[in-house]
């Protein structure tokens, strides 16, 4: 008690603050989400995500080498497929010569030590923009799982280190583990989007992939029948625990900064690493506010990333990964 205890003694300068700091960040804490498109030498900025681009495979490989040199050890990859390849089955998702499969092979060939975690969901391949197959006006859970297993196995065949199911179908982690093992991919891991909320923070991401649900009165207008209600907390713990029981090697909470209470709850409940996705809307808000001079970009970026780590994240998937790694390396 005061005056015997004075908390400010441990804050008097940066040297002592660094000695007693409870949470630290390094580039290896980050995973970099990347968007891939067809073509060669293609680099198109996403208007709602300043500084983030859709790149062709050749330029994606260059970027992967650059971020690996910065100390980033994982990438989470997404593809924008041509409209002509979309249908209600998602069959292009497991095409062995598809854009995702070629991208995985190219990245692993050029940078074998980079951990590649491709997204597994049908929305980039769906004419409806949903994460699953539409039957009788709703998302067919089990039929979607069967399709997603084919997709995951094709990713493993291409060289993926982990598969990252973001669909939120019931029971899909167990089906993935069974399917991967049956195909001989016992060492390919599963990073499950366990607590993925039906959030308005995903808008810029859907612009990047043109994957928003279409306006059709005969199908769900949004993703609330499978993504989680953002009013719920206990449900997130239940979902994460079920995924671990089904074989998930890592679980994810998404979004990030607005859901730090969920991150801590999940971290306390599971015995596997917890990944947090610092999502596109959170990225875009910082960019927009800093462009207007309302926030200090680098300071708020690092504060948010530190807070996510402090809440319990073992790995942070963030569009700021490259910028933050550059700052940390300085």
pLDDT in tens, 239-274: 999 999 999 999 999 999 999 999 999 999 999 999
- The answer as to whether 5 is a domain residue is no
Quote the tokens at residue 71. 């100390």
**Over 90: is that where the pLDDT of 134 sits?**
yes
- The answer as to whether 85 is a domain residue is yes
- The answer as to whether 311 is a domain residue is yes
Helical residues (DSSP H) of 99-258, grouped into ranges:
99-110, 141-158, 172-182, 203-209, 234-246
The catalytic residue among 254, 267, 287, 309 is 254
- State residue 289's pLDDT score: 97
Q: Which residues are annotated as a binding site for Mg(2+)?
A: 239
Q: Please name the residues in contact with 290: beta carbons below 8 A apart, sequence gap of 6 or more.
A: 296, 297, 300
**Over 80: is that where the pLDDT of 45 sits?**
yes
What DSSP string runs through 22-37?
S----GGGEEEEEEE-
| Distances, alpha carbon 110 to alpha carbons 104, 161, 321, in Å | 10, 15, 20
> Is 91 part of the annotated catalytic residue set?
no
- The answer as to whether 111 is a domain residue is yes
- State residue 282's pLDDT score: 96
Residue-range definition of the domain harbouring residue 319: 28-329
Write the pLDDT tens digit of every residue in 153-176.
999 999 999 999 999 999 999 999
pLDDT band at 207 (very low <50, low <70, confident <90, very high): confident
pLDDT band at 215 (very low <50, low <70, confident <90, very high): confident
- The answer as to whether 18 is a domain residue is no
Q: What is the mean pLDDT of residues 114-134?
A: 95
Quote the tokens at residue 70. 């910065």
Q: What is the mean pLDDT of residues 288-315?
A: 97
DSSP 8-class letter at 229? P
- The answer as to whether 170 is a domain residue is yes
> Is 105 part of the annotated catalytic residue set?
no
pLDDT band at 212 (very low <50, low <70, confident <90, very high): confident
Write down the mean pLDDT value for the chain. 96
Question: What's the domain count of the chain?
Answer: 1
Q: Which residues are annotated as a binding site?
A: 239
Q: What is the mean pLDDT of residues 127-154?
A: 96
- The answer as to whether 133 is a domain residue is yes
- State residue 21's pLDDT score: 96
The catalytic residue among 86, 105, 108, 196 is 196
**Over 80: is that where the pLDDT of 209 sits?**
no
- The answer as to whether 275 is a domain residue is yes
The domain that contains 151 carries what CATH number?
A: 3.20.20.70
């Amino acid at each position: 008690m005061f005056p015997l205890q004075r908390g400010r003694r441990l804050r008097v300068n940066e040297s002592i603050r660094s000695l007693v700091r409870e949470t630290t960040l390094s580039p290896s804490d980050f995973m970099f989400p990347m968007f891939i498109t067809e073509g060669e030498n293609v680099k198109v900025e996403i208007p709602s995500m300043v500084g983030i681009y859709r790149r062709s495979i050749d330029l994606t490989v260059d970027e992967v080498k650059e971020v690996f040199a910065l100390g980033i050890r994982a990438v989470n990859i997404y593809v924008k497929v041509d409209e002509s390849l979309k249908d209600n089955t998602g069959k292009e998702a497991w095409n062995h010569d598809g854009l995702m499969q070629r991208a995985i092979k190219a990245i692993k060939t050029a940078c074998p030590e980079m951990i590649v975690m491709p997204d597994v969901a049908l929305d980039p391949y769906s004419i409806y923009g949903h994460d699953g197959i539409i039957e009788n006006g709703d998302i067919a859970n089990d039929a979607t799982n069967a399709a997603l297993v084919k997709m995951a196995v094709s990713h493993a065949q291409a060289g993926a280190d982990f598969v990252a199911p973001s669909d939120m179908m019931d029971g899909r982690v167990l089906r993935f583990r069974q399917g991967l093992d049956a195909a001989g991919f016992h060492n390919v891991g599963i990073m499950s989007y366990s607590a993925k909320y039906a959030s308005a923070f995903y808008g810029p991401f859907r612009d990047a992939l043109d994957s928003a649900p279409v306006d059709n009165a005969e199908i769900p207008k949004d993703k609330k029948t499978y993504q989680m209600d953002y009013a719920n907390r206990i449900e997130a713990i239940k979902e994460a625990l079920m995924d671990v029981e089904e074989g998930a090697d890592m679980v994810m909470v998404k979004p990030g900064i607005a859901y730090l209470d969920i991150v801590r709850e999940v971290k306390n409940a599971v015995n596997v690493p917890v990944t947090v996705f610092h999502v596109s809307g959170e990225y875009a808000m910082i960019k927009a506010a800093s462009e207007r001079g309302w926030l200090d970009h680098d300071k708020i970026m690092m504060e948010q990333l530190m807070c996510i780590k402090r809440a319990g994240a073992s790995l942070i998937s963030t569009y700021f990964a490259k910028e933050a790694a550059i700052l940390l390396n300085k």
